A and B are shown apart, each in its own frame.
Chain A
Amino acid sequence: MTFIELANPYRFQMLARVLIPALAAVSAFVIGLGLWLGFHAPADYQQGAMVLVMYIHVPFAWLSLGAYTLMAIAALGTLVWRHPLADVAGKAAAEVGAGFCFLCLVTGALWGRPTWGTYWNWDPRLTSVLVLFLLYLGVLVLWRAVEDPGRAGRAAAILALVGFVNVPIVKFSVNWWNSIHQQASVMRLDGPSIHSSMLTPLLISAVGFAALFVTLHLAVMRNELLRRRVRTLRILVAANNEAR
């Protein structure tokens, strides 16, 4: 099945019906495995048990950036290729991505208090992630503010594309400016600097949360397609009642 064939909402719904429960089961199992391994890994020599927050905070951070990248690709699909499912995918990515970004900020603040002595600091990494969250909210507000889904999709796509400039800023903020946030310790040119006893659970946990993200993304897309069908039928029924 090609990507273009998925443009057919009926075909997408058929695929989603199979994929959503299967991916939900996979994500529950893999997240459980990753966290179980994390809780049985040795404590960090500096942070002690606080390192347990890493197994959820880091996947939330990666997926916040991943979801925004997906939203930007979907925005291109809306504006350039006019793919019928692109704006549905973009809206769903914004909703799920905003949730993951919120959790990234909350777990980061709770990790920061005992580690840095503060919940919040106007540091380049923390501030750029807050901007990312505000961009997600901006895209969602645009979707709610414009009633016609086609126009709302195009407006949200423009904001999503303009805001994409923030994604590399989030990633490289710790390298470009002085930051209290630690530098990248997994995605580095010279390889991960985390010990394998903690890296393995982290990567497994990240795969599990990525599967959860895909599950939620597909489920939200399915709901959005239903919502559009409901909207069309409401207009049709109202027009029919008026004609009588």
Chain B
Amino acid sequence: MDLGPHASFIVASYAAAVVVLGAFILWVLLDYRFQRRALRELEAQAPRRR
């Protein structure tokens, strides 16, 4: 597909979207894993309710 004389601007726009959204999704997934792990560890240490 011919993107014309301003192809670099079009490619840069889509690349920015992929990088920012990709980084955000990765951060959300890693944060979820981190919080789940921290919760499991703390639940093992936390005092039990009677």
Contact surface of A with B, Cβ cutoff 8 Å: 39, 43, 48-50, 52-53, 56-57, 60, 96, 99, 102-103, 106-107, 110-111, 113-114, 212, 216, 219-220, 222-223, 226-227, 229-230, 233-234, 236-237, 240
Contact = CB atoms under 8 A, between A and B. Distances in A.
B33 to A, nearest CB: 10
Contacts of B36: 226
Q: For this complex, into which size category does the number of interface residues on chain B fall?
A: 20 to 34
A56 B17 CA distance: 8
Contacts of A48: 4, 6
B45 A237 contact: yes
Contact of A106 (B13, B31, B47): B13
Interface string B18-35: 001100110010011001
A24 to B, nearest CB: 9
Contact of B6 (A114, A220, A230): A114
A61 to B, nearest CB: 13
A99 B21 contact: yes
Contact of A102 (B4, B20, B25, B31): B20
B47 to A, nearest CB: 5
Contacts of B20: 99, 102-103, 106
A226 B39 contact: yes
